Amino acid sequence: MVNRGGGGGGAGTIGGGGGADSTGQNTGGNGGTAAGFAGGNGDDGDSSHRGAGGGGGAGGYGVVVNGSGLTYTNSGNISGGKGGAGGANNAGNGYGGNGGDGGYGVFLTGAGVLNNFGTISAGAGGNGGAALSSGAPNNARGDGGNGGIGVYFSAAGTLNNSGSISGGALGMHGNAPTLGNDGFSGVGVVGADLTIIDSGTISGGSNLDGTFANAITFTGGSNILELQAGSTVVGNVVGTGSDTFRLGGVASSTFDISGI
């Protein structure tokens, strides 16, 4: 039987614990124990535990704005926790554990306003666990965890950004000759029915090839993106609903229309 390492646990203000392997003997790492804390690493597999590594725990969210109609202002530094690394497969037939997902920077549970004058950064995904090459193809590396989202709106909202917002970097797969994938880098801002007014920086997480994940993903509804002097958007802006792009503010600036 091939024993598979468990996946990383779901994130929250306190990150979720990683999954155990398929035998239940190798446990995943604990989630981040407080806001912004890193997830724990999964157990390594060994001969007594049939080889498979446990999944890494997910990183804790930096801040959760819990409620509707609230306004949250950040003038400091907010960071989501890094996902824990998957445990290695050190013996027997088994997979390396999957890396945990990075924690979100700010998560808004209801409609609200976020004013950002500081820095909001999501956590990076944890790396997948390695596997012995001698057991291939039964032994395979664990998947890397996904980078967290910089700011996630669960409902309609307004973002006024003059600071910096970034998605988390992806976690890489573990070392082994077969299977296992890198994670996905995190998007900078995600939501529907949003108004985003930006005079700062919004960036997707970095990919291994030097590109970036989406800076902004509008998931539906009617959205407005207004760029003012000083705005820098790193990564694509992707919409699926009825969206408006505009240039605003009172200061003079330039805009390269070839970027559209």
Q: What DSSP line would sit under 42-101, residue for residue?
A: PPPB-GGGTSPPPPPPPPPPSEEE-SSSEEEEE-SEEEPPPPPPPPPB-SSSBBPPPPPP
Name beta bridge partners: 94. 3
pLDDT at residue 95, rounded to an integer: 75
- The structure tokens 């694509």 sit at 236
Name beta bridge partners: 108. 65, 153
Spatial separation of the C-alpha atoms in residues 68 and 199, rounded to whole Å: 25
pLDDT at residue 1, rounded to an integer: 36
The answer to whether 8 touches 99, Cβ cutoff 8 Å, is yes
pLDDT at residue 45, rounded to an integer: 57
Cβ neighbors of 138 (< 8 A, separation 6 or more) are 2, 93, 94
**In this structure, what token pair is assigned to residue 181?**
């994938």
pLDDT at residue 260, rounded to an integer: 62
| Tens-level pLDDT at each residue, the chain (260 residues) | 344 444 444 444 445 545 444 454 544 445 444 455 666 665 555 555 455 677 788 888 999 999 999 999 999 999 998 988 887 777 666 677 888 899 999 999 999 999 999 999 999 998 888 876 655 555 677 889 999 999 999 999 999 999 999 999 999 988 766 777 899 999 999 999 999 999 999 999 999 999 999 999 999 999 999 999 999 999 999 998 789 988 886 676 565 665 66
C-alpha distances (whole Å) from 41 to each of 28, 58, 60 are 7, 9, 14
pLDDT at residue 245, rounded to an integer: 87
Spatial separation of the C-alpha atoms in residues 176 and 184, rounded to whole Å: 19
What is the identity of the amino acid at 105? G
pLDDT at residue 103, rounded to an integer: 92
| DSSP per-residue codes, 118-178 | SEEEPPPPPPPPPB-GGGTTT-BPPPPPPPPPSEEESSSEEEEESSEEEPPPPPPPPS-SS
Please state the pTM of the whole predicted model: 0.84
pLDDT at residue 236, rounded to an integer: 95
